[in-house]
Structure 1
Amino acid sequence: MLCRTKSSVAAVLGCVVLGVGAAGCDGEELENWDPLASATRTAGPAPISGPGKITVGGRSVNVSCSGDPEEDGPVVILLLGAGDGLGKMAALQRTLSEHDRVCSYDRPGSGVSDRPQGPQDLSGVGDTLTGVIGRVAGDRPVVLAGHSLGGLIAARYAPGHRDRVKGLVLMDATLSTMVEDITKAIPASATGPAAELRAQNLAVFKGENPERLVISDGKVRSAGNIPVEVIQHGKRYLAAVPGYGPRLEKAWAAGQRGWLALSGAATLSTAAGSGHYIYLDRPDVAVQAVERVIAQAARRADGE
């Protein structure tokens, strides 16, 4: 997202409505904003622990892993929102890793990973995720826990990788039809902060972001009957957009319900008192959701 704006409302809301992190929205230049090569699963080095760099698709990717999994238990992969380096989820990772193996990583173009050499799409981002999973999880199954854009990536990835992904936690995930939703909620005739918000977010989805990620709308596909927890924000922060806030809140809520189509075992809850960053505002809600999905995934694996 192009976060430089003269409107305080757009500056605050524009960096979260589509799942783009707040980094750089305090007036930093775009190039200083940490935002929003195919890899295959092959035998290789043992799964890593601690912080470090790995090579995926010819690029250096910054990763961090901690904790040990239960016997045959899944590895948790944390996927951050656009604009956030892996340090943003460090506290959540520490808590979860007391009982499970948990890893996070900077996508190419974010944090301290290599910058992409050209435009990316969600398929390419998925290839990077596959490569990361192969290095940090070995042959173990994984649970993906994504916030914002990271939630969208997790939800788009899981249906095509049912052999590995055994559970999902989506925390205020960017909607699967975000471009359509924002253009309907805020018409082209809008002016003021709402117009700025519309233009900024549409530009980001066209690839005007440091990840160079072009994001297209798509249908929600089934990931099987895996456990899925969808968590939406409790504070109606989108309602602050002058003139169009109620429409945005309605579209966001509908999009969160839409993620339930991922699985017959999906549930939707609201994190009371939380804004967009659920895992910071209500870490207890985030931790409990991930732990429930891990437990359910483990039980299902035992029953196979």
Structure 2
Amino acid sequence: MNRTLKATAVAATCCAVAGAGTIGYRNVTAEAQTHRASDTTARHGHDDSFSGTKKIRVEGHSVNVSCSGHSAHRQPVVVLMAGGGDGLDTMADLQKTLSEKARVCSYDRLGEGSSDQPSGTQTVNDSSKILTGVLDRIAGDRPVVLAGHSLGGLIAARYAPDHRDRVKGLVLMDATIPALTAGISKAIPASATGPAAELRDQTIAVNKGQNPEKFIIADAKVRSAGNIPVQIIKHESQYAEVPDYGPALEQMWTEGQHQWLALSSRSSISTAAGSGHYIHVDRPDIAVKAIQRVTTQATLR
């Protein structure tokens, strides 16, 4: 697959950068995952004192986590969730800025960054178990705001309805849409050829689990997480490299983003002007303001 198409595949599936191997995912090198500290000793409750990166045991796996900043006892802990193919390092700049006013953590899902490889195919339920274990350690009984990009946003959105006692706010940054396989199959028909056909076929393959996390990205309806504050941010432009199907793909993505509004009676959606799929990189100012606003709203609940 050529370089420009790989960049286009970013938004159509989970998360990537130009030059990636498997469509929708970024190849992560060991050199890019150098961290300051490692600690595999299990602890009870959360630790609001450590800053940096360490490893914890969750569900029998080693999971890489990073935390920084401090906050008032009742203020939610902000948890950043990277997209598919990305480690927590891609959230480092965002975490640094946010941690000036809040306690902020991030983690590598199984198969990403410096965390263990998954033992087999993963579903949303498997990923949720890991997330619960991570939250138990980094937040304890404190509320959390989940801020996810791409696949991280989809996982956060699927997690929140079943954990209303814990998740008090969501920020979805160009989250993978709720029914991506059906959407891309409609936007790019089976009769398509060339780069568009590659994009369609590889997106469907990634959704079936052909990705570093072995994560099955299943189409499903959006369930309500109650009346928590939810901010949905979508990219402005992403599909210029497949002009024949670009308008249909943009419509697919926009409709999918609007479906996430069903998460809460307090959901809102906006477009990040001048942004591609990596909103927190292209427009970090928008991402920071959205997360800070949702955290403030969640604190007042």
Q: Same fold (TM over 0.5)?
A: yes
Matched, 1:26 2:28: no
Mark the CA change 1:180 to 1:43 in structure 2 (over 3 Å): closer, same or farther: same
Contact 1:239 1:249 in 2 (8 A): no
Tell me the alpha carbon deviations over residues 142-195 of structure 1, each in whole angstroms, 9 at most, x when there is no partner: 000000010000000000000000000000010000000000000111000000
CA distance in 2, matches of 1:190, 1:86: 36
Q: How does 1:155-174 map to 2 (within 5 A)?
A: 155-174=157-176
RMSD: 1.9
Contact 2:15 2:26 in 1 (8 A): no
Unaligned runs of 5+ in 2: 30-41
What is the letter of the counterpart of residue 163 of structure 1?
D
Contact 1:61 1:113 in 2 (8 A): yes
Matched, 1:17 2:12: yes
Contact 2:20 2:26 in 1 (8 A): no
Matched, 1:147 2:184: no
CA distance in 1, matches of 2:28, 2:81: 14
Mark the CA change 1:27 to 1:254 in structure 2 (over 3 Å): closer, same or farther: closer
Contact 2:46 2:136 in 1 (8 A): no
Matched, 1:261 2:254: no
2:37 equivalent in structure 1 = none
2:221 equivalent in structure 1 = 219
CA distance in 2, matches of 1:262, 1:29: 31
2:36 equivalent in structure 1 = none
Once the two structures are TM-superposed, the CA of residue 14 in structure 1 deviates from its matched residue by 1.7
CA distance in 2, matches of 1:95, 1:83: 23
2:33 equivalent in structure 1 = none
CA distance in 2, matches of 1:34, 1:56: 22
**Which structure 1 residue ranges, 4+ long, deviate > 3 Å from structure 2?**
27-32
- Per the normalisation by structure 2, the TM-score is 0.91
Q: How does 1:53-92 map to 2 (within 5 A)?
A: 53-92=55-94
2:199 equivalent in structure 1 = 197
2:12 is paired with a residue of what secondary structure?
coil
Contact 1:120 1:213 in 2 (8 A): yes
What is the letter of the counterpart of residue 276 of structure 1?
H
2:274 equivalent in structure 1 = 273
- Per the normalisation by structure 1, the TM-score is 0.90
What is the letter of the counterpart of residue 95 of structure 2?
Q
1:121 equivalent in structure 2 = 123
Once the two structures are TM-superposed, the CA of residue 220 in structure 1 deviates from its matched residue by 0.5
CA distance in 1, matches of 2:172, 2:75: 20
Mean Cα deviation higher: 48-57 or 242-251: 48-57
